[in-house]
Structure 1
Amino acid sequence: MSSLQALIFDVDGTLADTERDGHRVAFNQAFEHAGLDWNWSVELYGKLLAVTGGKERMAYYLEKFNTSFPTDDKTPQMIKELHQSKTDFYTKLLSTGAIPLRPGVKRLIHEARKQGLRIAISTTTTPANVTALLEHALGEGSTDWFEVIAAGDIVPAKKPAADIYVWALEQLKLKPEDCLAFEDSLNGVKSSLGANLKTIITINGYTKSDDFTGASLVLDQMGEPDNAFTTISGDNFGASYINLDLLKKIHAA
């Protein structure tokens, strides 16, 4: 049995609850800025989350939900420009401190660093979004704490494909059995399990009804010593919050 050597984190919904009050809001700001009458409600955005990647999500919206909007060979460029605008609005939103890290995340990252455990990111969001969240929520220079940041279009096939995790493992020069993954969604757990990674899930409002079959542990949050998590499925080994002791037990199980 190999020892636990690295933790690989998804970002949106896992490190911070960014989707509903972050990305969705920024998309709507970008649409308004471009003079479009598109508006993604909380309910509609939940449906659009079936597709990972912002550019892909806009294409899906036009294909399935706004079919009357005229599209042509210039549409991909329009989507690309909208996505860049959305990223700008999103990073400005993060700079206000409006989107904090979820309970337990900051503590766990600091604990991992203190004990010499390697940490990495595996996400479909853009590198700029990752940097903005980390720098504003964890502090300046915190991006450098993560040995590998696998983000955005670094692989062509996004989650639920396993490619982004496979790439991260290659960069870390580690095997799946050396690591644990943290996810929050069906597409995420399909991706991590597809790369043969044991996975811990912290659900959010959009993903609470997803099927997490195969995950080692499914929780409502990572928890804190004074703010216990609720276990939805899996063995928590008597713990009330995620720390390295619990993670080592999950890894060894």
Structure 2
Amino acid sequence: MADTPQIVPTLIFDCDGVIADTEQFGHLPAFNQTFEEFGVPVQWTVDEYAQKVLIGGGKERMRSILTDELSQQLGLTSEDAKDEAILAWHKRKTAIYTELVDKGVMPARPGIFRVVQEAHLAGWGLAVAYTALEPEVRAVLTHAVGVGLAAMFSIFASDMVLAKKPAPDIYLLILDDLGLEPGEAIVVEDSANGLRAAVGAGLRTVVTISGFSRGEDLTGASLVVSSLGDPGEDDEPAKVLDNPFGIELGSAVTLQTFRQILDLPGPASPLG
């Protein structure tokens, strides 16, 4: 009798706020510089942007500023004109953002390199579920984990699906494309929207909160921590914020932590 093939799990990461703290130090200044260059009289504050991040997708965030009054002021009097402007703005914003990544102003979050390296050496799959363009996430990944490990990732952008997070579409696409069952993958997210998307696809999820997700309802996560943590004496440990299943955890989330979570029951039902 042939042996049952061993399941090779896959770790799926969100990018912004998970791999690096990109929202405040990357996306926000890139949006604002783009608006300035195009003569758009909008400059988001940190507090204002905290509301904008609830909107999935950069182009969608840009579209949210186009009130009737501002559209008239900018001469965008048709939907085609608005679409064309947003595409131009977003292309420039992506270039600015990538330049900021290359300058190293957005360091990797604690534990990212360590966990990715552990997973790769153990033969696990690696993927990213991202809400923007591939050049952006490639730049973030390369800076965070190096060229070699970055090349190991399968990248899935939300533009590949009809509905963005909190809809589960991007995670359903990943499962289908990689030929995975929900019990063969685990997600690392940083926000309620991302958590809802993952749980809606039946995926177990670890949440590493970021500056823009503090105070959100993270019900449904298998584990909520301040970060994945690094166990070195001078490094940042992972602080447990919610541990509904009593998972054993030291100063860092490790591959063994993820193995424990994969042994847990999956989400009972999609979140609303």
Q: Give the TM-score range, shorter chain.
A: over 0.9
Q: Which position in structure 1 is the counterpart of 2:185?
A: 179
Counterparts of 1:80-99 in structure 2, within 5 Å, are: 80-99=87-106
Counterparts of 1:222-241 in structure 2, within 5 Å, are: 222-226=228-232, 227-234=236-243, 235-241=246-252
Matched, 1:9 2:13: yes
Q: Which position in structure 2 is the counterpart of 1:121?
A: 128
SS of the residue corresponding to residue 138 of structure 1 reads helix
TM-score, length basis structure 1: 0.94
**Structure 2 unaligned residues grouped into runs of 5+:** 1-5, 265-272
Specify the structure having the higher radius of gyration (Cα).
Answer: 2
Number of residue equivalences:
249
Q: Which amino acid aligns with 1:82?
A: W
Q: Which position in structure 2 is the counterpart of 1:189?
A: 195
Matched, 1:72 2:77: yes
Q: Which position in structure 2 is the counterpart of 1:40?
A: 44
Q: For 1:152 and 1:135, how far apart are their aligned partners in 2?
A: 20
SS of the residue corresponding to residue 43 of structure 2 reads coil
- Cα deviation per residue 1:114-163 (whole Å; 9 max; x = unaligned)? 111111111212111111111223223443211x2111411121111101
CA contact (8 A) 1:13 1:19 kept: yes
Q: For 1:81 and 1:243, how far apart are their aligned partners in 2?
A: 42
Counterparts of 1:47-58 in structure 2, within 5 Å, are: 47-58=51-62
Q: For 1:238 and 1:97, how far apart are their aligned partners in 2?
A: 31
- Give the deviation of 1:56 after TM superposition: 0.5
Q: Which position in structure 2 is the counterpart of 1:136?
A: 143
Q: For 2:97 and 2:152, how far apart are their aligned partners in 1?
A: 22
Q: For 2:149 and 2:210, how far apart are their aligned partners in 1?
A: 24
Q: For 1:67 and 1:108, how far apart are their aligned partners in 2?
A: 48
Q: For 1:31 and 1:50, how far apart are their aligned partners in 2?
A: 20
Q: Which amino acid aligns with 2:49?
A: Y
Q: Which position in structure 2 is the counterpart of 1:23?
A: 27
Q: Which position in structure 1 is the counterpart of 2:3?
A: none
Q: Which amino acid aligns with 1:250?
A: I
Q: Which position in structure 2 is the counterpart of 1:252?
A: 263
Q: For 2:17 and 2:35, how far apart are their aligned partners in 1?
A: 23
Matched, 1:109 2:113: no
CA contact (8 A) 2:129 2:158 kept: no
C-alpha distance 43-221 of structure 1, shift in aligned 2 (>3 A) = same
**Structure 1 unaligned residues grouped into runs of 5+:** none
Instruction: Name the Cα RMSD after superposition.
Output: 1.6
Q: For 1:16 and 1:231, how far apart are their aligned partners in 2?
A: 19
Q: For 2:8 and 2:253, how far apart are their aligned partners in 1?
A: 15
Which of 231, 236, 253 is the equivalent residue of 1:242?
Answer: 253
SS of the residue corresponding to residue 218 of structure 1 reads strand
CA contact (8 A) 2:8 2:123 kept: no
- Give the deviation of 1:191 after TM superposition: 0.4
- Same amino acid, percent of matched pairs: 38
CA contact (8 A) 2:117 2:149 kept: no
TM-score, length basis structure 2: 0.87
Q: For 2:147 and 2:37, how far apart are their aligned partners in 1?
A: 30
Q: Which position in structure 1 is the counterpart of 2:155?
A: 149
